[in-house]
Structure 1
Amino acid sequence: MAATTSGENGKRVRLSPDERRQQLIALGTEMLRDRAIEDISVGEIAAKAGISRGLLFHYFSSKQDFQLAILHRANLELLTRTAPDPTLSLFDMLRDAVQRYVDYVSAHRTPYTTLLRGPGSASPEFAALAEESRNTIVDRILAVAPIPGDDPDHPRLRLAVRGWIAFVEETTLSWLRHETISREQLIDMLVQSLPALALSPALAAALRQ
């Protein structure tokens, strides 16, 4: 079933079901920039898309399904923006990724804060999405760490990196609320804390400038 929407010239443009679904997700993601996921209005998004509120649920089974699709898109955007640059040294790669992380969450502080600490964070589906993102970051770090995957210390290092991500999240959330130190000081602390928390001489040596 195809739907129509108004184009730039005012003419009705026919959209496929997938195109319409992607349009609605994009509108929701844009709205997520300055409000919490639970504050996004389905009726407002439907109006922006030029469809009825009821028709929106032709593309999503429920409001929560729509919210989850929006968060999936936003999460993918975060992971894409913070993807490591393989042309850099390990230290510069980490610092560059942390800088882009801090800049991204600074520009999206409302959804970032509510996803991790808001009412929706108790939802199993939303929690699973956050966990998936953390695991992706752990995998990225371990993929470039100077420690073979079959090293006996690898499981301990994986657990330590997972703990570092929790430290990054909590520290960044606190900084977003109060900004008691500068952006550069925050980035320095997050970068320097990884080898400190990991307690890995090999990783610490590789992360020296």
Structure 2
Amino acid sequence: MIGIMRRRLSTEQRRAQLLTIGAELFARRPYEDVWIDEVADIAEVSRGLLYHYFPSKRAFFLAIVEAEGAKLLQASAPDPTLPPLDQLKAGLEIYIGYAERHPDGFRVAHQAAATDDDLHRIQRSRITALRDRILAGLSAVTTVDEQTRIAVTGWLAFVPVAILEWLDDPAITRDELCDLCARTLWAAAGLRPA
């Protein structure tokens, strides 16, 4: 019998591979329907090796949520050559597109954060980074004060709820959803779209 030659990955590559496999599985199925053995089988590693990187299924899931959030934050970085409203819409397009491609994972990450302290901590960190990014963009077109900061923070809670509603009942187009979210922030910040 001829054995299959496995490629040896560095620690960072192996961890990234496991996170990618886990993200794909958790995006398609609920948490309780994803098995560590399945992840190990797909990665062609032992269950013990997976537990070497992540001490529990929960730790694995939290690492995936954190990694996916970081990817989304990086992918939605604003293009400084665009006007602020266009920067916002471009970021929203990426965020909505992610939710559209991974509806189950998007639901799990946002709904579980309401009742899970660790997920809430990860989400708060991402929200703070997004809020600061948006406030920096808004400072080019308006005075940013405490009211603006609170309005942006509230808007960041509105957007995932609007996306979840749209995923459940897409009564408007994706472009209309993006425009609605952008106009809502502009209104909350006391601005009028140009």
Same topology, TM > 0.5: yes
| CA distance 1:102–1:117, shift in 2 (3 Å) | same
Q: How far apart in 1 are the matches of 2:159 and 2:13?
A: 36
Q: CA deviation at 1:85?
A: 1.3
TM-score by length of 1: 0.82
| CA distance 1:18–1:97, shift in 2 (3 Å) | closer
* Residue number in structure 2 paired with 1:125: 118
* Residue number in structure 2 paired with 1:178: 169
Q: How far apart in 1 are the matches of 2:46 and 2:32?
A: 20
Mark the runs of 5 or more structure 2 residues left unpaired by the alignment.
none
Q: How far apart in 2 are the matches of 1:82 and 1:39?
A: 30
| CA distance 1:17–1:96, shift in 2 (3 Å) | closer
Match of 1:30 among 24, 28, 40: 24
SS in 1 for 2:8: strand
| CA distance 1:147–1:93, shift in 2 (3 Å) | closer
Match of 2:139 among 135, 146, 151: 146
1:12-66 CA distance string (max 9 Å, x none) = 3223333322221121122233223443221101111222223321221222111
* Residue number in structure 1 paired with 2:183: 192
Report whether the alignment pairs 1:166 with 2:160: no
SS in 1 for 2:27: coil
Tell me if the contact between 1:84 and 1:94 (Cα under 8 Å) persists in the aligned partners. Answer: yes
- Structure 1 letter corresponding to 2:175: E
Mark the runs of 5 or more structure 1 residues left unpaired by the alignment.
1-8
Report whether the alignment pairs 1:99 with 2:90: no
Q: How far apart in 2 are the matches of 1:125 and 1:71?
A: 10
Deviating above 6 A after TM superposition, structure 1's stretches of 4 or more consecutive aligned residues are none
1:164-209 CA distance string (max 9 Å, x none) = 111112111111111111212211111111121223xxxx25xx33
Q: How far apart in 1 are the matches of 2:124 and 2:167?
A: 21
How many aligned residue pairs are there? 192
- Structure 2 letter corresponding to 1:189: L
Q: How far apart in 2 are the matches of 1:41 and 1:73?
A: 19
Q: How far apart in 2 are the matches of 1:77 and 1:108?
A: 14
- Structure 2 letter corresponding to 1:166: A
Q: How far apart in 2 are the matches of 1:58 and 1:126?
A: 22
| CA distance 1:176–1:87, shift in 2 (3 Å) | same
* Residue number in structure 2 paired with 1:4: none
* Residue number in structure 1 paired with 2:46: 52
